[in-house]
Amino acid sequence: MAKILFLAVLLILVNGCQIYTGNMNKAPTRWVTVLDADTGAPIEGVALGYYHTAKPYFIVSSVVGSCRTYASGPDGRAYVPRNEHLKAVGAM
């Protein structure tokens, strides 16, 4: 019984470690428009991304970037995931 309980707890902990990284390949769910700060004109081709803390172990952690980038189109619009604070990839 103790072995089964130990294995169950170990499986929960191993799977739980993946929660810390979030979903690093989030599907886009909202539209945003990238505008030039000076002119207010839409900017094409800006790659957007986000960071999360990855904890493969309980003590060790590192900051990792999103697995995918979200680029703005000719009209400056980009389809991005909700609830993420996105920045231009070069500005991170």
| Predicted model pTM | 0.60
Please report the pLDDT score of residue 8 as a whole number. Answer: 61
Domain ranges of the chain: 20-91
CA dihedral over 80, 83, 88, 92, signed as positive or negative: negative
**Beta partners for residue 33, in sequence order:** 77
SS3 1: coil
Closest CA to 27 of 85, 81, 88: 81
Report the alpha-carbon distance of residue 72 to residue 31 in Å, rounded.
10
The 10s digit of each residue's pLDDT in 30-58 is 999 999 999 999 999 999 988 877 776 66
